[in-house]
Chain A
């Protein structure tokens, strides 16, 4: 990992962006991104995700506060810092009339890469993103999947230490999306990444940290586990097999346990809600023992819902309800 020794890759302090005194896009955002983190940037439309990314890249100047990348303050002329960043905007557009080879060569020259380093790198990337047959064709004829692959190649041409990808799976079909997620997992082993996404299952799959923005305000920043920890954990579904009477009897016994809040049976599927006061493993052990005693077989057991999505919606919902309270505890949730 080529991050600065013991330093944060990205650090912001009270970062605020107000457009023309009319729109508060980002409000007092303070966070740090450690080397090796894969940060999922979440939030509804207009939450300030793209504004945050543009401030990190130095495409926008902050109205107040500051943003440092690799220990250096970001501003529109910080070209040397941007040499260490690979960026993919949402719906990447390309200069007209260029082929992938010309475009990547242009990108390499924009990073100041000499011919000796640029040419072999672009050839390797075109092969890696599977655009070899189309390498001489105009980009304007490309499908969204091919365009996304080319944008990936462009973001990697300078061998960056930090990757900033704004909705990288946006508009991709299932196969292309899967390929993109696998690529992110591979790159995450050696790079620090910031991924802005609306797709929470993508974030759940590839990220280890999350930052949640709502109306320009950072309402959560921490590990994905911490985010999931903010929701009720003890909610399970158990698919059962066995005699109907035995199943009904065991459900009655489970309902009788004081640690069980509710136990509902529907078509041999038991929905179980446990209290938060005790260890879930102990209660589940008792439930399994009850099932065993009644000769009921357990087919599957799973935690209810998509936890990241639930946690995210919980957070946004709570933030909406806080009203004036958020004025007095601005960093309470984000800590």
Chain B
């Protein structure tokens, strides 16, 4: 062996997880900075503060007892559809909002479609569920102190967990539809039709079948701590399964789709 042989240049060091975290981190930032996200938070805060102060006034000044669990349920019913609309729009625009040469400039680099889709899905899920969890915690705490304190910790956690599981399913399917649709407008139109159409149709179903309206009405007793933990876990598990199924469809479909 020739002692003077030049050493081979070191092989470039690649971290295979870096592309995932690059898209994840960038999407976290872009989601928080988007006007749709800010508008959703603003609408929710204004509704919660306005409604809470109004009921607080009745509770304190008029002397009529206002139950925190009841009015949290009413608030949820009022802003629920708006929340679903905003959350689905934000989820859907995760992939579909980055089309054309912006998507080219990301997907033509060293990132696989799987990593890209997972990063988008995880980022949107984290931001939206995180924001909802914070809003829910603030509302429950504030209403507990301002109104008649009949919300239990366990009931509040159970109700929030179920709502988060529902939102997780909406986000997963939203990201998937956004990834597979050929345009944001057509995607959101189809998604809203499916989502609100399903809610509308399910509300006609008789008692043993799941109805969103009845579920929101039952929220009051759940918040008071009257719930079966097994049923709550089952419900949350069901929606999480729906979320995972949506993500799996998106993962497979997007890895075969032309961008």
B192 at the interface (CB under 8 A from A): no
Binds B, one of A72-80, A189-197, A213-221: A72-80
Interface size counted on chain B using CB atoms at 8 A: 34
B51 touches A (CB below 8 Å):
no
Contact A90 B109, beta carbon cutoff 8 Å: no
Chain A CB within 8 A of B19 CB = yes
> B234-259 toward A: CB 8 Å interface, digit per residue (1/0)?
00000000000000000000011111
The answer to whether B16 touches A112 (Cβ under 8 A) is yes
Contact residues, A67-119 vs B (CB, 8 A)? 76-80, 82-83, 85, 87, 89-97, 106-107, 109-114, 116-117
For residue B6, CB closer than 8 A to chain A, the reply is: no
Nearest A residue to B23 by beta-carbon distance?
A110
Asked whether B5 is an interface residue with its Cβ less than 8 Å from the other chain, the reply is: no
B-side contacts of A113, CB under 8 Å: 12-15, 18
- Indicate with 1 or 0, residue by residue over B1-37, a CB within 8 angstroms of chain A CB atoms: 0000000000011111111011100100010010000
Query: Is the Cβ of A110 less than 8 Å from the Cβ of B22?
Result: yes
Measured between beta carbons, the chain B residues less than 8 angstroms from A93 are 100-102, 105
A61 to B114, CA, bound (A): 15
Residue in contact with A110 in the complex, picked from B104, B109, B114, CB distance below 8 Å: B109
- A-side binding surface: helix, strand, loop or mixed? loop
Q: Does any Cβ of B come within 8 Å of A1's Cβ?
A: no
B73 to chain A, nearest CB (A): 39
- Say yes or no: A106 contacts B12, CB within 8 Å: no
- A92-B107 contact in complex given A61-B258, A76-B112, A113-B14, C-beta closer than 8 Å: no
Shortest Cβ gap from A23 to chain B (Å): 12
A110 touches B255 (CB 8 A): no
Complex: A57 Cα to B108 Cα, angstroms: 6
A4 within 8 A of B: no
Q: Does the CB pair B15–A112 fall under 8 Å?
A: yes
* Alpha-carbon separation in the docked complex, A97 to B109 (Å): 20
Is B26's CB under 8 angstroms from A106's CB? yes
Query: Which partner residue on chain A sits nearest B98 by CB separation?
Result: A95
Please tell me if B106 contacts chain A, counting CB pairs below 8 Å: yes
A276 at the interface (CB under 8 A from B): no
Instruction: Output the nearest chain A residue to B17 by Cβ-Cβ distance.
Output: A112
Contact partners of A173 in chain B: CB under 8 A: none
Interface assignment of B115: CB less than 8 Å from any CB of chain A: yes
Cβ–Cβ contact A82 & B102, under 8 A = no
Q: By the criterion CB–CB under 8 Å, are A159 and B12 in contact?
A: yes
Contact B102 A95 (CB under 8 A): yes
Given the interface pairs A106-B26, A109-B18, A117-B13, the reply to whether A76 lies near B105 with Cβ below 8 Å is: no
**Least CB distance, A209 to chain B, in whole angstroms:** 22
User: Is B101 touching A107 in the complex (CB atoms < 8 A)?
Assistant: no
**Which residues in B have their C-beta under 8 angstroms from that of A97?**
30, 33
**Bound Cα distance from A84 to B255, whole angstroms:** 20
A228 in the interface (beta carbon within 8 A): no
CB contacts (< 8 Å) of A158 on chain B: these are: 109-110
Provide the bound-state CA to CA distance between A145 and B22, in Å. Answer: 27
For residue B249, give the distance in angstroms from its CB to the closest CB of chain A: 16
Q: B17 to chain A: which residues have CB within 8 Å?
A: 112
- Interface flags for B177-217 (1: CB within 8 Å of A; 0: not) read 00000000000000000000000000000000000000000
What are 6 pairs between A and B in contact, CB < 8 Å? A59-B108, A79-B111, A106-B26, A110-B23, A112-B16, A114-B18
Q: A54-B258, A57-B108, A83-B14 provided; 6 other pairs, C-beta below 8 A?
A: A76-B113, A76-B255, A82-B110, A83-B110, A95-B102, A112-B110
The 10 closest A-B pairs by CB, nearest first: A109-B22, A110-B109, A112-B14, A83-B110, A111-B110, A77-B112, A79-B112, A87-B108, A89-B101, A60-B258
